């Protein structure tokens, strides 16, 4: 059972949102660490029942510029080796892939931004993630990097643009390239932060707003179902997520 959770944040406008709401609903004690400003030199990698690593703008390959990424990767590696419950979102998923020895790099097909569908593999359809499939909702994508599937990982979902969207490691490691945690408010804030991309025509702000109004509440509902199901299973000896 998950009683304690630590959440690594990389920017203040990329909060855990739905993830934190579900954890609080389950009376999980949450500790937030803003790794860009707080030391994790002495963080006990195996201490929290659950580690959640959120997204952010840096690439995993920018460890020299953002040394906290190297520290996080080491912590994640220790948790995955011990099969401790670990959930990575976007940059968090990329750090998980890197911790498992896979390459993370700028996506050759360009950024994947906006509301889109993901297609579940057979393993994905048998997991808690099934409620996030294209039959039920669209999900928010906001990333430029992608990663190779780690050897031994189980691919659970793909998108039309990038095959490696969600993978499972062991029984308790789950990496999601897509942002299933966000709310409408967060996406609208990201749209403001991306003003230069709007100006350059890279991002269609009107479409983003329209799609957010249509899909954000639906995805949030499905994400809550997924998270409760996954948290019920995670850490159990015979769980399948």
Task: Give the span between the Cα atoms of 38 and 22, in whole angstroms.
Answer: 25
Domain that holds residue 90: 4-233
Percentage of the chain lying above the pLDDT 70 cut: 98
CA 37/CA 29 separation, integer angstroms? 22
pLDDT digits (tens, 9 = 90+) for 36-79: 999 999 999 999 999 999 999 999 999 999 999 999 999 999 99
pLDDT in tens, 212-225: 999 999 999 999 99
Whether 175 is covered by a domain: the verdict is: yes
Does residue 240 belong to any structural domain of this protein?
A: no
User: How far is it, in rounded angstroms, from Cα 66 to Cα 35?
Assistant: 10
Domain count, the chain: 1
Q: How confident is the model at residue 237 (pLDDT cuts 50, 70, 90)?
A: low
**pTM to 2 decimal places:** 0.95
Angular region, 152: left φ>0, alpha ψ -120 to 50, beta rest: left
- What is the C-alpha separation between 8 and 109, in angstroms, rounded? 28
Element containing residue 185 per DSSP (H, E): helix 184-193
Side by side, the strands of the sheet bearing 50-53 are 29-34, 4-9, 50-53, 86-89, 173-176, 166-169, 154-158, 119-120
Segment 71-95 mean pLDDT: 98
CATH for 172: 3.40.50.880
């Amino acid at each position: 059972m998950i009683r304690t959770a630590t959440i690594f944040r990389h920017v203040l406008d990329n909060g855990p949102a739905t993830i934190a709401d579900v954890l609080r609903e389950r009376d999980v004690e949450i500790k937030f660490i803003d790794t860009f400003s707080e030391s994790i030199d002495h963080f006990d990698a195996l201490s929290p029942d659950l580690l959640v690593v959120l997204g952010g703008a840096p690439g995993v390959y920018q460890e020299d510029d953002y040394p906290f990424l190297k520290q996080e990767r080491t912590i994640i590696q220790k948790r995955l080796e011990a099969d401790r419950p670990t959930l990575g979102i976007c940059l968090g998923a990329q750090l998980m892939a890197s911790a498992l020895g896979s390459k993370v790099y700028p996506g050759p097909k360009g950024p994947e931004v906006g509301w889109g569908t993901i297609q579940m593999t057979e393993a994905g359809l048998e997991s808690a993630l099934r409620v996030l499939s294209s039959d039920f909702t669209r999900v928010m994508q906001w990333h430029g990097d992608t990663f190779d599937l780690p050897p031994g990982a189980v691919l659970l979902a793909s998108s039309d643009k990038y095959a490696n969207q969600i993978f499972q490691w062991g029984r308790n490691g789950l990496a999601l390239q897509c942002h299933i945690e966000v709310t409408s408010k967060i996406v609208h804030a990201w749209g403001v932060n991306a003003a230069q991309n709007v100006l350059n025509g890279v991002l269609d702000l009107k479409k983003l707003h329209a799609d957010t109004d249509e899909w954000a509440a639906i995805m949030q509902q499905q994400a809550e179902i997924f998270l409760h199901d996954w948290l019920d299973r995670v850490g159990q000896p015979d769980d399948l997520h």
